[in-house]
Structure 1
Amino acid sequence: MSAVKTLEAVARDRVGKGAARAVRRQGQVPAVVYGGGQPPQSIAIDLIRTRTLIYAGGFKTTLFEINAGGKKTRAIPRDFQLDPVSGVPMHVDFLRVVAGQTVTVEVPVHFHNEDAAPGIKQQGGTLNISLHTLAVEVAPDQIPDGIEIDLTGRQIGDVIHVSDVTLPAGVVYTGEATDPIANVVPPTVLGAEVEAEEAAIAEAQSAEAEAEKVEAEAEEAEAAAEASEEKKED
């Protein structure tokens, strides 16, 4: 379960594009906290801190206690915008959370013990992942860091469905229990096919090069013969 993180902020009394640009010039990121039956609250948060949190991963599954001028609010990030060129955070939306509320978040799936899966370790199969995250409904203070899946004993052809996974207490998957998360597929023959294709191409190129060499030699011999004939005529 992710720990609640503290996030220092400054309350903003001005909104709009001009105000947002001014906030960014000061090395901060404009943000808003909404929901919970209360009016939206405009805030500014430190750029470096925000960028670090976003790129560290798990930003949208982290519960924050936002301290803006002594007023503390618990909220979870719902969305953020990055500059398409520089990747710098441009804006963050936080959802205010209250007691008894649940939120829907995407929780990453973590696979363990591939070495203990005969289909992968001994038989050379590959784990084909269909869902890298699971959309779950959960209380904000019970969001898990990830959904753990043990691959021990998995054979080629095995399919792991959501119903095969034990979710943490209080975590409810929003999709169907029959949704496949991953399966173990047989060793691909693509590698052998690629090698054969590459060998055929190399052989064709070699034959083409040899043909070009023979043709060039023939042209040189023909040119030499013509030169010799012209010399005799002179």
Structure 2
Amino acid sequence: MTAIKELKAVARPRAGKGAAREERRAGRVPAVIYGEKQDPITISLEHKEITRTIYAGHFLTSLFMIEVDGKRHRVIPRDYQLDPVKDLPLHVDFLRVSAGAHVTVEVPVHFVNQEKSPGLKRGGTLNIVHHAVTLDAPADAIPEYISADLTGFEIGDSLHLSAVKLPDGVVSALHGDDTLATVVAPSGLKEAEADEAAAAAAAAPAAKS
């Protein structure tokens, strides 16, 4: 089960850009909690704490418990805005998550057993098409990542999402079978193959005559 992390927050009585600027000047980050057919709640978070939490990783796939005015809210972050210059948080959106709910999340892909790929051993290059995939997962069991096994992959082979074993209860949220990566030939091998093909094409007319 996914561990639920605690976040401290205070109610923010006023919404709007002016109120948000006041919160930032006070060293806090404005945020909102919405969803579950309830009215949105405007809150603010301590700047240092939420910055540290975001940059610790897995922020958008983590469950949080936020207490506001004595009421606890079980949420998952859905989006956050960063200052384009300072890369510090400006605003965070949280979605309420009830027990047993499923959520759509983007999860990183870890490509494992690259040393067991004959194609990569021959000098091929792993061309990663998707570093992350969108999954539908139980809110209490969001995977931190999925493992894509490259054992046995030759040059020219492609690894598709359908070949990856997903955790129980987790399915792809996309339509179709995404290509996660391909093993491509090194440039030197490509040139050699092109030269061979050109030589074979040139020899064919001569052989006929």
1:177 is displaced (CA, Å) by 4.6
Question: Structure 1 stretch 152-161 or stretch 124-133: which is displaced more?
Answer: 152-161
Q: Partner of 2:61 in structure 1?
A: 61
Match of 1:135 in 2: 134
Deviations 1:161-196 (A, max 9, x none): 111011111111022452211111111239x9xxxx
Alignment check: 8 A CA contact 1:12 1:42 kept = yes
What does residue 8 of structure 1 align with?
A: 8
Helix, strand or coil: the match of 1:57? coil
Match in the other structure for 2:44: 44
**More deviation in 11-20 or 122-131?**
11-20
RMSD: 1.9
Deviations 1:49-104 (A, max 9, x none): 21122223221111111122332111111111111111111100000111232211
Give the Cα separation in 1 of the matches to 2:23 and 2:172: 39
Unaligned runs of 5+ in 2: 192-209
Corresponding residue for residue 174 of structure 1: 173
Which residue does the alignment assign to 2:83?
Answer: 83
- State the distance in 2 between where 1:148 and 1:164 align: 10
1:160 aligns with 2:141: no
One-letter amino acid matched to 1:75: V
**TM-score scaled by structure 1?**
0.76
Q: Which amino acid aligns with 1:38?
A: Q
Identity %: 54
C-alpha offsets along residues 26-67 of structure 1, whole Å, 9 cap, x if unaligned?
211000000011111111111112112222322111111112
Provide the TM-score with structure 2 as the length reference.
Answer: 0.85
d(CA) in 2 for partners of 1:31, 1:178: 36
Whether the aligned pair in 2 keeps the contact of 1:163 and 1:177 (CA below 8 Å) is: no
SS at match of 1:189: helix
> For 1:184, what is the secondary structure of its paired residue?
strand
Write the distance in 2 (CA, Å) between the matches of 1:84 and 1:186: 38
- Higher fraction of helix: 1
Farther off after superposition, 46-55 or 36-45: 46-55
**Could you list the runs of 4 or more consecutive aligned residues of structure 1 that deviate by over 4 angstroms after TM superposition?**
none
The residue number in structure 2 matching 1:208 is none
Contact 2:4 2:63 in 1 (8 A): yes
Change (3 A) 1:114 1:93: same
Distance 1:76 1:82 in 2: 18
Larger Rg: 1
Q: Distance in 2 between matches of 1:112 and 1:106?
A: 19
Gaps of 5+ in 1: 193-234
Contact 1:125-1:186 at 8 Å conserved across structures: yes
The answer on whether the counterparts of 1:33 and 1:95 sit within 8 Å (CA) in structure 2 is: yes
Distance 1:33 1:85 in 2: 26
In 2: Cα distance, 1:90 partner to 1:179 partner = 33
Is the CA contact (8 Å cut-off) linking 1:2 and 1:145 kept in structure 2?
no
